[in-house]
Structure 1
Amino acid sequence: MPTTLIALFSGLAFGLSLIVAIGAQNVFVLRQGIRREHVVLVIATCAVSDAVLITVGVAGVGGAVSALPWLVPVATIGGAAFLVGYAGLAVRRALRPTALASDTAGERAPWGSVLAGCLAITWLNPHVYLDTVVLLGSIATGYGDERWWFGLGAVVASSVWFAAIGFGARLLAPLFAKPGAWRVVDGGVAIVMLLIAARLLWGLVG
């Protein structure tokens, strides 16, 4: 097999291994997909953001970032604080009947607010940088001149995954026709966000 294809499929497999794990970004895309709310915008935003970050990592910035030891803890603390705040919003949605009713009555949030939330959950999440820029970028350097094929594979994996969970989530829509189901979803979102934040902070002190 040509080395370019080896690098391409390696990037595809590695990209999937990083992104498939349930995280803040995936939870956001899944929730928007279930609501059928600006799904294409959310998928495109996540896919393009990942593509930019992967490109930055493959270009060699990952090594430069890892050389600045103070940057990682600062980004980690900031990201954990954001995730805790997002968890608080999810708890409020779960506890307020009016918020649950809007989910099931077909009312759509403005596309601008959805885009802002999507950008925040992506670009303020330190896990995204650690996975794409630092980790993936560092591994890509091992492929030498073929590292761009490795990066392309990772970009394809990211785009396919976001499209799959975004468009596939609508199959679950009938299950979430009742406010009680959204109470469970938003409660689960809050738990996931808090666990991710706790894991980030534990990594600093552990």
Structure 2
Amino acid sequence: MSQTARYDHGKPRLDPPPGKDFWVFGYGSLIWRPGFPHVEVRTGMLRGYHRRFCVYSHRYRGTPECPGLVLGLARGGSCRGLVYRVPAAEGEAVMDYLYEREMILGVYDPRWLKVDTDEGRVAAAGFVVDTAHHQYAGRLSMPELSRLILQGRGKGGTCLEYLRNTVHHLEALDMHDRALHRLLAYVEAGKADAAE
């Protein structure tokens, strides 16, 4: 059984187009740690979704007893990120890898997303938050976001590392995300206050 089938959670599967390269959209950790072979990277704009800390993490950045938070693509607005072109020969292996990484608990819905790049629009595989899933956190207040980010620690590290990495790599790509900047400043201030 492929990883794609193993982790589909009854949701529609994304199959790479037979014999063709395809694109993957990254908006969070896929920006700074894609983890799969690719032959081209472009910056891209996804309209209709925005990046938000709205997914409880029970594994990579938290535990069921002490959840953290990770990013999801939530409806509304727009999101700048990277699109990676995956060679056809690696298509099945890359899709399996993405399903194992993103679909292990079923909190995301896999979709083909329309992403605008400087070279034109591409259809890219992406993972949109499932608002009916029990790990969907909804829209949280800044104090609650900060609390969860400061407490979150899982097999992938801390939520604070995840937030810092995302902000710093977006900055390096000249993709300024004001909401994430404000959140990082708020969380860092809370961490400093707790240390005093």
TM-score by length of 2: 0.25
Q: Hey, which of these two has a bigger chunk of strand by percent?
A: 2
Q: Hey, which of these two has a bigger chunk of helix by percent?
A: 1
**More relative contact order, 1 or 2 (CA 8 Å, 6+ apart):** 1
Could you say which structure has the larger radius of gyration? 1
